């Protein structure tokens, strides 16, 4: 039985931690910048398999192209106009995309530091923390939020537990998420088979902001955008959509199957919605890995009245979003 260990590494100018099994069959490299998972290799019967679409090189990482494996907090995805109102006060973020929206939170470029590093016969565990939001002085977010990202590598795969704690004296709006890209051996995912847990999709405007009220959700059953049940081949679709619905208790599973190699990757999450992005609009990386993003809420959650109670995290309260990546057994 292989044991596990943690070593220090470097990706360009950025220090990393490398979690790995002693036999080399499982390996994950995580940058302290952004608590970013840079690469992930998991064991199969045919040998170690790379399953994560990471950054091409340090320059690509510096640019954060595609927000690959970004930790999304205190909100995920888009925020309309880069602003929101919470408990009667309106707040505005400095960053904007071409449509004037804020995107992907405030910590994907933050400095994180090791809180815990342990390894034994069964797993390697790396827990990182960041003080980026702890002072309550972040532009657009005057709340004191402590964040931890705990990565566990074991024979079951890799698990991320993203933990938010409100250290302030007032309630704070919080919506957690993660932005990993799963990749098949051939990299191009257009021929891959995708299975999602939900048959409802979020309807957005031209800025990719969900419509108001009930108009924001539609039933996709029977359409080419329905990946629920047995799923279907992506078949060259350009997808940038949030999928929602009511989940059964337990892990919520999304799966990507490569028919050429018979490899099936699973990204499971503790709760929330699933954002899927085929990377079709990325420069030089179109369809190179599929972003299956476990998020707590649909885009623009801070501006949706029906989510006002769900996003609220009271003083001293903690919330955790968990996600795991693993290779499923080949049924053949």
pLDDT computed for residue 186 by the predictor: 66
Domain membership of residue 79 (yes or no) is yes
Domain membership of residue 121 (yes or no) is no
pTM of the model: 0.96
Domain membership of residue 324 (yes or no) is no
Angle among Cα 188, 193, 196 to the nearest 5 degrees reads 120
**What backbone phi and psi angles, to 5 degrees, belong to 228?**
-80, 180
Write out the chain's pLDDT in tens, 332 residues.
569 999 999 999 999 999 999 999 999 999 999 999 999 999 998 889 999 999 999 999 999 999 999 999 999 999 999 999 999 999 999 877 888 899 999 999 999 999 999 999 999 999 999 999 999 999 999 999 999 999 999 999 999 999 999 999 999 999 999 999 999 876 678 899 999 999 999 999 999 999 999 999 999 999 999 999 999 999 989 999 999 998 788 999 999 999 888 899 999 999 999 999 999 988 877 788 999 999 999 999 999 999 999 999 999 999 999 999 999 987 65
The tokens describing 228, both together, are 């629920």
Domain membership of residue 249 (yes or no) is yes
Rounded Cα–Cα distance for residues 64 and 68 (Å) = 7
pLDDT computed for residue 331 by the predictor: 60
pLDDT computed for residue 95 by the predictor: 75
Domain membership of residue 45 (yes or no) is no
| Number of domains, the chain | 1
Domain that holds residue 292: 53-107+127-150+166-318
The tokens describing 273, both together, are 């919605």
**225: domain CATH number?**
2.70.98.10
What's the chain's Rg over C-alpha atoms? 19
Rounded Cα–Cα distance for residues 283 and 244 (Å) = 28
pLDDT computed for residue 330 by the predictor: 73
Give buried/exposed letters for 76-87 (b at 16+ CB in 10 A, else e).
Answer: bbbbbbbbbebe
Q: Is 250 left (phi over 0), alpha (psi -120 to 50) or beta?
A: left
With contact defined as beta carbons under 8 Å apart, do 53 and 67 qualify? no
Domain membership of residue 24 (yes or no) is no
Domain membership of residue 326 (yes or no) is no
Domain membership of residue 161 (yes or no) is no
Element (H, E) at 61: helix 58-63
Long-range CB pairs of 3-11 (<8 Å, 24+ gap) are 3/119, 3/120, 3/121, 4/119, 4/120, 4/121, 4/122, 4/123, 4/124, 4/153, 4/154, 5/119, 5/124, 6/117, 6/118, 6/119, 6/124, 6/126, 11/38, 11/58, 11/61
């Amino acid at each position: 039985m292989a044991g596990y260990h943690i070593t220090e590494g470097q990706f360009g100018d950025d220090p990393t931690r490398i979690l790995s099994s002693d036999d080399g069959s499982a390996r994950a490299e995580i940058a302290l910048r952004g608590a970013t998972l840079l690469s992930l290799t998991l064991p199969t019967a045919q040998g170690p398999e790379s399953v994560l679409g990471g950054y091409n090189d340090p320059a690509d990482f510096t640019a954060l192209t595609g927000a690959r494996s970004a930790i999304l907090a205190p909100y995920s995805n888009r925020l309309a106009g880069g602003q929101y109102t919470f408990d009667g006060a309106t707040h505005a973020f400095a960053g904007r995309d071409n449509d004037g929206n804020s995107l992907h939170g405030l910590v994907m470029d933050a400095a994180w530091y090791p809180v815990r590093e342990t390894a034994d016969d069964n797993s390697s565990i790396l827990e990182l923390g960041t003080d980026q939001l702890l002072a309550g002085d972040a532009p657009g977010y005057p709340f004191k939020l402590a964040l931890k990202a705990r990565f566990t590598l074991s024979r079951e795969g890799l698990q991320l537990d993203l933990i938010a704690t409100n250290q302030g004296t007032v309630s704070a709006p919080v919506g957690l998420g993660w932005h990993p890209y799963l990749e098949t051996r051939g990299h191009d995912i257009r021929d891959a088979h995708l299975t999602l847990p939900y048959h409802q999709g979020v309807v957005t405007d031209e800025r990719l902001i969900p419509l108001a009220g009930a108009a924001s959700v539609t039933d996709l059953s029977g359409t080419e955008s329905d990946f629920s049940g047995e799923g279907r081949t992506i078949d060259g679709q350009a997808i940038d959509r949030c999928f929602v619905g009511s989940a059964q208790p337990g892990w919520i599973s999304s799966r990507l199957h490569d028919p050429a190699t018979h490899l099936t990757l699973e990204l499971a999450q503790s709760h929330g919605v699933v954002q899927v992005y085929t990377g079709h609009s990325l420069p030089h990386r179109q369809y190179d890995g599929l972003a299956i993003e476990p998020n707590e809420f649909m885009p623009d959650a801070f501006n949706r009245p029906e989510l006002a109670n769900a996003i609220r995290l009271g003083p001293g309260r903690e919330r955790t979003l968990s996600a795991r990546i693993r290779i499923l057994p080949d049924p053949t």
